[in-house]
Amino acid sequence: MDRIDKSSIVAQSTREEEREVALAHVPPVDLLRPLRILYAQKWLVLAILLVISVCGVFYVLQQRPIYTARGLLLIENTRLETGREELLPIVSNVDVSAVDTQVEIIRSDAIALHVIASLDLVRDLDFVGSGAKSLARRTLDTFSEYVAQVPALRDIAGWLGSGSLQGQQRSERVALQAFQNMLSVKRVGMSSVIEVSFRSQDADKSARIVNEILNAYLAQQLDAAAAATANASAWLRDRVKDLGTKARVISLAGPPIRREGPTRTLLLAGFVALGLLLGIGAAALRFALDQTIRNPQQIERLLNVPYLGAVMRRTPYRAWPERRTSRRLMRAPLSPSSDLAFVVKRIRTAALRRGRGQIIGLTSIISGEGATTLASNLACSAVVAGCRVLLIDGNPYKPSLTRLFEPGATTGLLDVLAGRCTIAEAVAINMKSGVHFLPYAGGVGTPVVDAVRVQSFVRECRDSYDIVVVDLPPFAPVPELLCARTFVDAFVLVVEWARIPSSLLTSAVLAAGMNQNDFLGFVLNKVNRIAIDPFSYPIESHLSKYRFQEYAEWPAAQSFPSIVPWRIERSLARGDVHYTGT
């Protein structure tokens, strides 16, 4: 029994420990993630908000006010009851059908046409303007009138829409349709009161039309009662005229003070709210459809690789391509307070902290992401720090460094790997920058080398230099990166901001057979400074306050004139290039 209790206690404690470990590995809930998404898409949200708001302003300015006037009628039903000496008229309850009948009578075309004729609404633009014919319709009507004069073609004229309907009758029909659309007649609740309302753009006109409708209805009721008692005797006429359904006005229509519908302020607020909702929806949709890398957390979650920093996108430099490329490749030592200089320092610090990284390879997923620029700046910055540096152009498909620094080189990396020369014989030394450069030259294509020569090459590099920087081809299209793992200590992955899809990143790394231990870290390059999410770049948000101080404390012996290559120095002498930092 004690053994069972002990085993159950041990099992329970084990489950509790496993539960604690599982809870410890649960990622925290990121409550600021929606704010990050909206901030990253802020210009899209603001653009949609601005467009919808401008449309709302135009809508409010062109919208004409609508005023509704109301009048009330009371429907009564009178019947005769026997009194002591004679029949007496008594008011009784009105049947629902009787009220509905009076509603339809007020809404009838006869009442409407009477009001239109009495107020001459056929000439009112509020009634015939909405039905104004277009140029095509007017042309068709004119043609129909001429066709109608020919007896044999009258059927065609009728088909065209004119026929015997004259212009006055057409105007009355148009005014009648507009009148019926603006008129509203309804019963008030379950009572015997009928509300007559009319909408128009003129408050006084609405009141006049409602009162004219009431007068026309009452006149019609009086005419109907007079016709019913026309042939009766005088005694019977006096009593019959008070019988049946009668109506009386309990409230005449007055000019309304307030216009119908929401106010302009409320309409504008509604358009602004609509624009904000549409902007947020568009931002969420764009974020859901956009699978490119836009913040370091994405790469950290996918590869579990440290983040080394971000390099901002710079304004294109207006100079000759050769000078522009030279300045970009030397930007870190020339501008020690720049973002690129800070990224280079982090790479060197990360390599020293990990205890390995004498041979550092810089690569990317696809071509053009900036690995070559970062490799050259890393090498030049290491020279400024007092290190012996070897910069190797290891990209056989696009040897950009060789074309820039040693375009006419006849010996290089291919000869060294093939055993035709040593490193010292193939290296070109830049006397101004102090960088030893091994170009990609000496043969055609990629040489076939054995492991012994590779080990000898790596051993000679380690013995002769403190840091070896290798510019490697990109992951995705080039298979030679697998061979570089045999002699490169650590890789630095350069990812261009908002260009590489996350699926391409993971598939390229898996295809290369690399894991998190192979990487020293990753760098986001060409980041749009305006579109930066400050929540996703916590390091960069605290660096600007220290950059000018560090630049002021930069040693005079390490100032940029001592490390400018001869191409840039010649441009400086001519005044074509001016270095002002970031």
Encoded tokens for 347: 């790479």
Which pLDDT value is given to residue 549? Answer: 47
Contact between 85 and 167 under an 8 Å Cβ cutoff? The reply is: no
Q: Which residues of the chain have pLDDT under 70?
A: 1-30, 77-94, 129-168, 228-245, 315-337, 356-357, 443-449, 479, 530-582
Cα–Cα distances in Å, from 270 out to 56, 224, 540?
8, 51, 39
Which pLDDT value is given to residue 21? Answer: 46
Rg for the chain, CA atoms, rounded? 45
Cα–Cα distances in Å, from 53 out to 57, 274, 396?
6, 9, 55
Phi (first) and psi of residue 206, to 5 degrees: -60, -45
Q: Is 81 helix (H, G, I), strand (E, B) or coil?
A: strand
Which pLDDT value is given to residue 532? Answer: 61
Domains, the chain, in order of start with CATH, read 29-65+262-290 (no CATH), 67-251 (no CATH), 296-536 (3.40.50.300)
Q: What is the DSSP string of 467-490?
A: EEEEEPPPTTT-TTHHHHTTT-SE
Q: What is the DSSP string of 118-155?
A: HHTGGG-HHHHSTT---HHHHHHHHHHHHHHTSGGGHH
Q: Which of 349, 329, 474 is nearest to 402 (CA)?
A: 329
Q: Which residues pair with 62 in a beta bridge?
A: none
State the CB neighbour count (10 A cutoff) for residue 549. Answer: 9
- Tens of pLDDT, residue by residue over 448-492, are 667 788 889 999 999 999 999 999 999 887 767 777 888 899 999
The secondary structure element, H or E, covering residue 54 is helix 42-62
Q: Which residue has the tokens 């128009």?
A: 200
> 158: exposed, middle or buried (C-beta count within 10 Å: 0-12, 13-18, 19+)?
middle
Q: Is 538 helix (H, G, I), strand (E, B) or coil?
A: coil
Which pLDDT value is given to residue 174? Answer: 84
Encoded tokens for 106: 């007020």
The separation between CA 236 and the C-alpha centre of its own chain, rounded to angstroms, equals 81
Which pLDDT value is given to residue 318? Answer: 45
Which pLDDT value is given to residue 469? Answer: 96
Q: Which residue has the tokens 């391509």?
A: 321
Range list of β-strands (E), 407-545: 428-429, 436-438, 467-471, 490-496, 519-527
Sheet hosting strand 307-312, strand order edge to edge: 307-312, 519-527, 490-496, 359-364, 467-471, 389-393, 436-438, 428-429
Q: Which of 431, 524, 513 is nearest to 475 (CA)?
A: 513
Cα–Cα distances in Å, from 476 out to 298, 482, 488, 519?
19, 11, 18, 16
Residues 561 and 51: their CA atoms lie apart, in Å, by 52
Q: Cβ neighbours of residue 46 under 8 Å, at least 6 residues apart?
A: 279
Q: Which residues pair with 492 in a beta bridge?
A: 362, 521
Which pLDDT value is given to residue 139? Answer: 60
